[in-house]
Amino acid sequence: MSILERRLKLQTLFEEILGSREAYFQPPENQKISYPAIIYHLEDIDNTFADNLVYGQRRVYNVTVISKDPDNDIVDKISQLPTCRFNRHYAADNLNHDVFILYY
């Protein structure tokens, strides 16, 4: 599976969790967003080495769930994904932001 196909699979997963198409990969600043939404971007590439060669690789994404509701169940669904860990919560512009690190 190509890198693009894998990311599009992740996009589909986020849209299923949301029940809408409000999942955005690296959206431009002027993008109109409806909430709740998920915004994600590539944070890192985690390589596994053997004999000084890369034999395994996972992409690491910074995933932010943005919602007006501080008790949004989307946060629970994202936090239960395999290889996902909660990073932090903050509020800005009357919106709740829950940030996760996802190895995918």
* Pairing, β 37-50 against β 23-25: parallel
* 8 A C-beta contact, residue 87 and residue 78: no
Q: What's the predicted TM-score (pTM) here?
A: 0.91
Q: What is the pLDDT of residue 20?
A: 96
| CATH classification at residue 76 | 3.30.2000.30
Q: What is the pLDDT of residue 28?
A: 87
Supply the range of the domain harboring residue 98. Answer: 3-103
Listing DSSP states for 57-88 in one string gives EEEEEEEEEEES-TT-HHHHHHHTSTTEEEEE
Q: What is the chain's mean pLDDT, rounded?
A: 95
Per residue in 12-29, pLDDT tens? 999 999 999 999 999 988
Q: How many domains does the chain have?
A: 1
| Percent of the chain at pLDDT exceeding 90 | 88
Structure confidence by residue, pLDDT tens digits, 80-96: 999 999 999 999 999 99
pLDDT of residue 56 exceeding 90, the answer is no
